[in-house]
C-alpha cells in the first residue's frame, strides 16, 4: 500500500508541474478585476527598427529620417503618416527658389566674353583757364597773331571785339601784324572752351614759328609767360624741332 501511495503522489506531482509550465508560457494572464484580460505590452527591437549604418549622401539622409520616424511611430503605437504630395503639386515659388541660380554664379568669370568691362574715360582733361591780367585798352597784333587769338588771350567776347573794331568774321581770321585793336572792357567773356590745346605741356614746334604764334596755338596763354619759362634767342624765329615748356 505504501508503494502504491508513493507512485500516485509522484504522478500527481508530475502532472502539476506540466500544468504550471504551460501556464507560464501564456502571453497574458487573467486579470484580477472581474475576469477582464490585460493585453501584453508590445516591444520593439531597437537594433532592427532603426537604420544600422549612416547614409553616404543627402538622399540617404532623407531616407534614413523617414525610416526613423516610422520606427518611432510604430514603437509609440501611433500609425505612421505618409506624405501624398507629388512633385507636380509642390509650390511653384518653392521650386523656383530651389532651381534658380544667381546670374553672378551662372556665368563663368573666366570664360571668354564674360569678363567685366571696365569703362575708360576718353574725355580730355579739362584745361584750367590761364589767369588773365588787366585788360589793356588797345593791343597791336604781332606776327602770328589774329583777332580771335586776342579775344581768347584777354578773355573777351569775340563778337564784341569785332563790332568794336568794325571787323567781319572773315577779316578776324586773317592776322595783320601792326593792326591795333580796341579791347572791350565789358564783363562779357569768351565762350568755353577758351583754350585751343591742352597745357601745361612740353611742346615741340613742327615748323618755324614766332613766340606769339605759339601762344595763339594754345589760345589762352600769355606769350610773356612762355618767354619766362624758356630761353628763346629770337622771339620771331623759333626753329622747327624746338621744345618749349608751355605753362
DSSP output for 94-124: HHHHHH---HHHHS-TTSTT-SPPPP---SP
- Global confidence as pTM: 0.48
CATH 3.10.350.10 in the chain is located at 132-194
pLDDT in tens, 176-216: 899 999 999 999 999 999 999 999 999 999 999 999 999 99
* Cell numbers that stand for 125 in this block: 582733361
pLDDT of residue 199: 97
Cα–Cα distance measured from residue 59 to residue 12, given in angstroms and rounded to the nearest whole number: 65
Res 169 pLDDT > 70? yes
Residues 226/194, Cβ–Cβ less than 8 Å: no
When pLDDT is cut at 50, 70 and 90, the band that residue 95 belongs to is very low
Residue owning grid cell 577779316: 171
The predicted structure's pLDDT at residue 176: 80
pLDDT of residue 146: 93
Out of 10-14, 15-19, 122-126, 228-232, which region has the weakest mean confidence (pLDDT)? Answer: 122-126
Q: What is the DSSP letter of 37?
A: B
The stretch 67-91 carries a mean pLDDT of 46
In this prediction, residue 115 has a pLDDT band, given cuts at 50, 70 and 90, of very low
**CATH number 3.10.350.10 given to 132-194:** yes
Half-sphere exposure of 196 (CA within 13 A, CB side): 16
Nine cell digits for residue 190: 569768351
Q: Are strands 201-204 and 243-246 parallel, antiparallel or unpaired?
A: antiparallel
d(CA 233, CA 239): 10
Amino acid at each position: 500500500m505504501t508503494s502504491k501511495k508513493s507512485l500516485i503522489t509522484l504522478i500527481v506531482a508530475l502532472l502539476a508541474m506540466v500544468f504550471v509550465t504551460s501556464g507560464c508560457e501564456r502571453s497574458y494572464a487573467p486579470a484580477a478585476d472581474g475576469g477582464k484580460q490585460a493585453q501584453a505590452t508590445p516591444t520593439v527591437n531597437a537594433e532592427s527598427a532603426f537604420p544600422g549604418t549612416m547614409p553616404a549622401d543627402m538622399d540617404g539622409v532623407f531616407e534614413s529620417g523617414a525610416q526613423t520616424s516610422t520606427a518611432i511611430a510604430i514603437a509609440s503605437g501611433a500609425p505612421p503618416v505618409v506624405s501624398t504630395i507629388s512633385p507636380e503639386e509642390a509650390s511653384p515659388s518653392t521650386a523656383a527658389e530651389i532651381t534658380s541660380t544667381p546670374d553672378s554664379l551662372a556665368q563663368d568669370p573666366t570664360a571668354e566674353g564674360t569678363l567685366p568691362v571696365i569703362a575708360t574715360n576718353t574725355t580730355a582733361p579739362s584745361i584750367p583757364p590761364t589767369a588773365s591780367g588787366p585788360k589793356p585798352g588797345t593791343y597791336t597784333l604781332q606776327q602770328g597773331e589774329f583777332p580771335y587769338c586776342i579775344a581768347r588771350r584777354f578773355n573777351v567776347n569775340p563778337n564784341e571785339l569785332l563790332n568794336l573794331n568794325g571787323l567781319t568774321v572773315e577779316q578776324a581770321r586773317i592776322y595783320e601784324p601792326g593792326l591795333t585793336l580796341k579791347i572791350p572792357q565789358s564783363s562779357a567773356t569768351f565762350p568755353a572752351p577758351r583754350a585751343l590745346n591742352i597745357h601745361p605741356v612740353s611742346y615741340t614746334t613742327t615748323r618755324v614759328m614766332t613766340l606769339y604764334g605759339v601762344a595763339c596755338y594754345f589760345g589762352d596763354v600769355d606769350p610773356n609767360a612762355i618767354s619766362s619759362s624758356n630761353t628763346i634767342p629770337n622771339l620771331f624765329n623759333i626753329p622747327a624741332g624746338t621744345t618749349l615748356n608751355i605753362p
